[in-house]
Amino acid sequence: YRLGDFYELFGDDAKKAAKELDIVLTSRGTGNNNKTPMCGVPYHAAENYLNRLLEKGYKVAICEQLEEAKASKGIVKRDVVRVVTPGTILNSAYLDKAKNNYILSLFHKQDNVGCAWSDISTGEFQVAQFSVKDQSGHLVDLINRLQPAEFIYKSGQLPLIKSILENCWEAQNIISTEVNQDTSIELIERQFGQEYLVGLNRENLKEGLAAGVNLLSYLQETQKNENLPFSKMDVFMPGNHMYLDAMTIRNLELFKTLREGKKEGSLFWALERTLTGMGTRLLRKWLQLPLQDMEAIKARQDSVEELKDTFFLRQDLREQLSKIYDLERIISRIEWLVAKPRDLIALSNSLAAIPLIKDIFKKAKCQHLRGLGESLDPISELKDMIQQAINDHPPDNLSNGGIIKDGYDPKVDQIREIIEDGETWIKNLESEERARTGIKSLKISFNKVFGYYIEITKPNLSLVPENYIRKQTLTQCERFITPELKEQEELFVGATDRLQELEYQLFCDIRKQAKEMSVLVRQNARLIAQIDCLASFAETAALYSYVKPELNNEGSINIKNGRHPILEQLLPEGSYIPNDLRIGEEDNRIHILTGPNMAGKSTYMRQMATLVLMAQCGSFIPAEKAEIGIADRVFVRAGSMDDLGKGQSTFMMEMNEVSYIINHATKDSFIVLDEIGRGTGTTDGLGIAWALVEYFHDQIGPRLIFATHYHQLTQLAEQFTGVANYSVAVAEKGREITFLHKVVPGGTNKSYGIQVAQLANLPQDVIERAYDVAAEMEVGEKKREPQSPVQLVLFDDKSMIIQELESLNLVQMTPLEALNTISSWQQRLLQSGESASSRPKRHGQR
pLDDT at residue number 789: 44
Contact 669, 242 (CB under 8 A): no
Q: Which residue has the higher pLDDT, 85 or 795?
A: 85
pLDDT in tens, 711-723: 899 999 999 989 9
pLDDT at residue number 645: 43
pLDDT at residue number 748: 82
Give the burial class of 304: count Cβ atoms within 10 A of its Cβ; 0-12 exposed, 13-18 middle, 19 or more buried.
Answer: buried
Report the side by side order of strands in the sheet with 477-481: 443-447, 451-457, 477-481, 469-473
Q: Which helix (H) or strand (E) holds 761?
A: none
Rounded to 5°, angle at Cα 476 from 472 and 482: 35
pLDDT in tens, 420-472: 888 899 999 999 999 999 999 999 999 878 889 999 999 999 999 999 999 99
pLDDT at residue number 838: 46
Task: Please choose, from the candidates 294, 349, 341, the residue with its C-alpha nearest in 3D space to the C-alpha of residue 320.
Answer: 349
- In terms of average pLDDT, the best of 97-111, 209-223, 437-451, 525-539 is 525-539
pLDDT in tens, 123-176: 999 999 988 776 667 888 888 889 999 988 887 777 777 777 776 766 555 667
Rounded to 5°, angle at Cα 707 from 702 and 709: 145
The confidence band for 830, taking pLDDT boundaries of 50, 70 and 90, is low
Whole-Å CA distances, 547 to 556, 637, 646: 18, 27, 45
Q: Which helix (H) or strand (E) holds 531?
A: helix 518-544
Nearest-10 crossing angle of helices 294-309, 518-544 = 70
CA distance 100 to 146: 8
Q: Which helix (H) or strand (E) holds 685?
A: helix 682-695
CA atoms within 13 A on the CB side of 44: 7
CA distance 542 to 312: 12
CA distance 698 to 678: 23
The DSSP bridge pattern shows strands 175-179 and 550-552 to be unpaired
pLDDT at residue number 836: 46
Fold of 410-508: MutS, DNA mismatch repair protein; Chain A, domain 3 (1.10.1420)
Q: If you count them, how many residues does the chain have?
A: 846
Fold of 2-84: MutS, DNA mismatch repair protein, domain I (3.40.1170)
What's the CATH superfamily of 550-751? Answer: P-loop containing nucleotide triphosphate hydrolases (3.40.50.300)
pLDDT in tens, 331-384: 999 999 999 999 999 999 999 999 999 999 999 999 999 999 999 999 999 999
Task: Please choose, from the candidates 194, 234, 230, 189, the residue with its C-alpha nearest in 3D space to the C-alpha of residue 213.
Answer: 189
CA distance 788 to 714: 11
Contact 330, 391 (CB under 8 A): no
Q: Which helix (H) or strand (E) holds 731?
A: strand 723-733
The confidence band for 840, taking pLDDT boundaries of 50, 70 and 90, is very low
CA distance 190 to 212: 12
- The pLDDT of 32-36, averaged and rounded, is 77
Buried/exposed 506-525: b ≥16 CB within 10 Å, e otherwise:
bbeebbeebbebbebbbebb
Give the right CATH number for 97-240 from 3.30.2310.20, 3.30.420.110, 3.40.30.10, 3.30.450.20.
Answer: 3.30.420.110
CA atoms within 13 A on the CB side of 300: 25
pLDDT at residue number 491: 84
Task: Please choose, from the candidates 425, 440, 436, the residue with its C-alpha nearest in 3D space to the C-alpha of residue 465.
Answer: 436
- The pLDDT of 686-715, averaged and rounded, is 93
Contact 113, 153 (CB under 8 A): no
Rounded to 5°, angle at Cα 326 from 325 and 328: 140
**Long-range Cβ contact pairs of 190-198 (< 8 A, separation 24 or more):** 191/216, 191/228, 191/230, 191/233, 192/230, 192/231, 192/232, 192/233, 196/232, 196/233
Give the SS3 label for residue 627: strand
CA distance 506 to 224: 24
Contact partners, residue 668, CB within 8 Å, separation at least 6? 555, 630, 631, 632, 633, 702
Average pLDDT, rounded, for the chain: 87
DSSP state of 236: P
**Long-range Cβ contact pairs of 822-827 (< 8 A, separation 24 or more):** 825/801
pLDDT in tens, 214-255: 999 999 999 998 889 998 899 988 777 898 998 899 999 999
Indicate the residue type of 444.
Answer: I
Calculate the CA 282 to chain-centre distance.
10
Give the right CATH number for 272-379+517-544 from 1.10.1420.10, 3.40.50.970, 3.10.270.10, 1.10.10.410.
Answer: 1.10.1420.10
CA distance 331 to 339: 8
pLDDT in tens, 595-621: 887 788 999 999 999 999 999 999 999
Task: Please choose, from the candidates 640, 616, 634, the residue with its C-alpha nearest in 3D space to the C-alpha of residue 705.
Answer: 634
The confidence band for 418, taking pLDDT boundaries of 50, 70 and 90, is confident
Contact 710, 685 (CB under 8 A): yes
pLDDT at residue number 21: 94
Q: Which helix (H) or strand (E) holds 433?
A: helix 410-437
The string of DSSP codes covering 76-122 is PPEEEEEEE-TT----GGGS-TTS---EEEEEEETTEEEEEEEETTT
Q: Is the pLDDT of residue 561 over 70?
A: yes
CA atoms within 13 A on the CB side of 467: 8
Indicate the residue type of 326.
Answer: D
Nearest-10 crossing angle of helices 789-806, 815-837 = 160
CA atoms within 13 A on the CB side of 294: 12
Whole-Å CA distances, 328 to 341, 464, 524, 618: 16, 62, 9, 23
pTM, whole model, 2 decimals?
Answer: 0.85
Other C-beta atoms closer than 10 Å to the C-beta of 610 total 24
pLDDT at residue number 31: 64
- What end-to-end distance do the CA atoms of the chain give, in Å? 80
Contact partners, residue 364, CB within 8 Å, separation at least 6? 306, 313, 370, 373
pLDDT at residue number 786: 47
Rounded to 5°, angle at Cα 25 from 19 and 29: 145
Contact 268, 283 (CB under 8 A): yes
**R_g over Cα of the chain:** 37
pLDDT at residue number 356: 98
Using a pLDDT cut of 70, give the percent of the chain over it.
87
Q: What are phi and psi of 22, to 5 degrees?
A: 55, 50
- The pLDDT of 537-555, averaged and rounded, is 97
Indicate the residue type of 81.
Answer: V
